[in-house]
Amino acid sequence: MLLQGVGVGRGSAVGPTLRMPEPLAEPTDEPSDASPSAEFARIHEALAHVAADLEARGAAAGGEAQDVLNAQALMAQDPTIADDIQVRLGDRKSADRAVYEAFAGFRDLLLQMGGYMAERATDLDDVSQRIIARLRGVQAPGVPESETPFILVAHDLAPADTALLDLTKVIGLITREGGPTSHTAILARSKSIPAIVGVGGAEELADGTFVVLDAGSGTVNTQPTDDDLAEARAAIAARAAVAAAPLSAGALADGTLVPLLANLGSADGAEEAVALGAEGVGLFRTEFLFLDATEAPSVETQVAEYERMLRAFVGKKVVVRVLDAGADKPLSFLNDEKEENPALGLRGIRALRASEQILRDQLTALAIAEARVNGFAPDTAPVQVQAASDLGSLEFGDEKVDAAEALASSEQPANTVEVWVMAPMVADYDDTEYFVSLARELGVRVAGVMAEVPSLAVVADQVFDIADFVSIGTNDLTQYTLAADRLLGSVANLQDPWHPAVLRLVGMIGRAGRDASKPVGVCGEAAADPLLAVVLVGLGVTTLSMTPAALADVRAELSRHTLAEAQELARVAVTATSAAAARQAVTRLSAANAVG
Give catalytic residues, as residue numbers. 183, 523
Task: Pick the closest to residue 121 from 110, 113, 132, 105 (CA basis).
Answer: 110
| Residue 267 beta carbon to Mg ion: minimum distance, rounded to whole angstroms | 21
**Residue closer to Mg ion, measured from CB, 107 or 486:** 486
Q: Provide the residue type at 436 as one letter.
A: V
Q: Which residue, 55 or 476, has its beta carbon nearer to ligand PEP? A: 476
Q: Report DSSP letters for 487-534, one per residue.
A: T-GGGTTT--TTSHHHHHHHHHHHHHHHHHT--EEE-SGGGGSHHHHH
Q: Which residues contact 349 (CB under 8 A, 6 or more apart)?
A: 322, 423, 424, 425, 426, 427, 431, 434, 435
- E strand or H helix that includes residue 226: helix 226-244
Q: Which is nearer to ligand PEP, 418 or 452 (CB)?
A: 452
Q: Which helix (H) or strand (E) holds 43?
A: helix 36-61
CA 466, 362, 288, 485: dihedral to nearest 10 degrees?
-40
CA distance 264 to 524: 12
Query: Residue 476 interacts with Mg ion (CB under 5 A)?
Result: yes
Site string for Mg ion, 444-463 (x = CB under 5 A): --------x-----------
Closest separation in Å from C-beta 284 to ligand PEP: 11
Q: Among ligand PEP, Mg ion, none, what does residue 96 contact (CB within 5–8 Å per kind)?
A: none
Minimum CB–partner distance for residue 325 and ligand PEP (Å):
11
User: To the nearest whole angstrom, how small is the minimum distance from the Cβ of residue 422 to ligand PEP?
Assistant: 10
Pairing of strands 317-321, 280-285: parallel
Q: Give the binding range for Mg ion (CB under 5 A) out of 211-219, 314-322, 373-381, 471-479.
A: 471-479
User: With respect to Mg ion, which residue has the nearer C-beta, 216 or 473?
Assistant: 473
Instruction: Identify which of residues 442 and 456 has a Cβ nearer to Mg ion in the complex.
Output: 456
Q: How far is the CB of 519 from ligand PEP (least distance, A)?
A: 16
Q: Supply the minimum distance, in Å, between the C-beta of residue 473 and Mg ion.
A: 4
Which one, 332 or 478, has the nearer CB to ligand PEP? Answer: 478
Q: Among 198, 297, 473, 530, which residue interacts with Mg ion (rule: CB under 5 A)?
A: 473
Q: Are 322 and 352 in contact (CB under 8 A)?
A: yes
φ and ψ of 68, to 5 deg = -60, -45
Task: Choose between 120 and 347: whose C-beta lies nearer to ligand PEP.
Answer: 347
The answer to whether the beta carbons of residues 293 and 400 sit under 8 Å apart is no
Which residue has the CB atom at the shortest distance from Mg ion?
A: 476
- DSSP code, position 410: -
User: From CA 174, how far away is CA 203, in angstroms rounded?
Assistant: 10
Taking a C-beta distance cutoff of 8 angstroms, is the pair 23, 42 a contact?
no
H or E element in which residue 352 lies:
helix 349-354
143 Cβ contact partners less than 8 Å away, ≥ 6 residues apart: 20, 152, 161, 164, 165, 166, 170
Least CB distance from residue 472 to ligand PEP, whole Å?
A: 7
> What are the Cα distances from residue 568, in Å, to 154, 312, 396, 531?
39, 38, 54, 13
> Please, where are the H alpha helices in 62-176?
63-76, 79-90, 95-113, 115-119, 121-136, 159-163
Q: Which residues bind ligand PEP (CB under 6 A)?
A: 283, 285, 324, 452, 473-476, 523-524
Q: Binding residues for Mg ion, per CB under 5 A?
A: 452, 473, 476
